[in-house]
Amino acid sequence: MAEREFRLPGSPYEELVNIIVAYGTRDEAARPGDVSKLDSVHQSSVSRNNGFLTEIGVLQGETKKLITRRGRSLALALARKDKEEIRRNWREIVATNEFLQNVVAAVKLREGMLYPTVQAYVAHAAGQPRNKPVMTGAGAIVEILKIAGLLREETGELVATFDGELDVVEDIAMEELSTEEETEPLLSATVETSEDPAVKIHLHVQCTADDLEDLAPRLRALLRELSNR
């Protein structure tokens, strides 16, 4: 299970965008009720997403939520529909959030995953049950990573893509995976892109004791691949 529960979005990506824009482009939008008056988003939808937006640094505060500087920059880019600025802002957010980095690394290290498999991984890593609201939130995470240019769809699967040279940092840990549904070992490493903003990815290797024999050559091949990019 995840070390702690990660608060996933409570809405699809498009609705999440509306909430961010409402918070970030109107100074008076400080509480869920304020946002619902200013935009076409229902108050309950705003409340379901506040935890996630706080988790990734778009909002700050407890009872009274305020937009951060990073959040305002993203909101303005979303309001202008500036694809390059939207991409840059989401990459900045991923660069400061270990959970989002780990999702990208999981896809990279498995050399591609089906969309539903990535959603299931996100739910598991967040410590959430795989019910419909959680899978909707997991889908929003996938869309964020696609729009950030860190995942793309290729031949029916999602694959991870990095722009720029990758420097491998040898920071690899292992632990035994105890969940019944996870049967395939999940490799991981820590990588960093040279592109500004930098994207650092930290991920633990999750495997059973029986998988250790096959793990070393796969890790060596992965490190070689990343170092040569």
Q: What percent of the chain has pLDDT over 90?
A: 50
Q: Which has the higher per-residue pLDDT, 101 or 170?
A: 101
Q: Which residue pairs from 206-213 have beta carbons closer than 8 angstroms and sit at least 24 positions apart in sequence?
A: 206/174, 206/175, 206/176, 206/177, 206/182, 207/174, 207/176, 207/177, 208/176, 208/177, 209/176, 211/185, 212/174
- Which H/E stretch holds residue 143? helix 132-147
Domain extent listing, the chain: 13-92
pTM of the model: 0.68
- What pLDDT does residue 182 have? 42
Instruction: Tell whether the model's pLDDT for residue 52 goes beyond 80.
Output: yes
- What pLDDT does residue 167 have? 34
Instruction: Tell whether the model's pLDDT for residue 9 goes beyond 60.
Output: yes
- What pLDDT does residue 151 have? 95
Rounded to whole angstroms, how far apart are CA atoms 184 and 81? 39
Q: What percent of the chain has pLDDT over 70?
A: 60
- Which H/E stretch holds residue 151? strand 151-154
Average model confidence (pLDDT) for the chain?
Answer: 76
148 falls in which pLDDT band (50, 70, 90)? very high
Rounded to whole angstroms, how far apart are CA atoms 104 and 212? 23
CATH of domain 13-92: 1.10.10.10
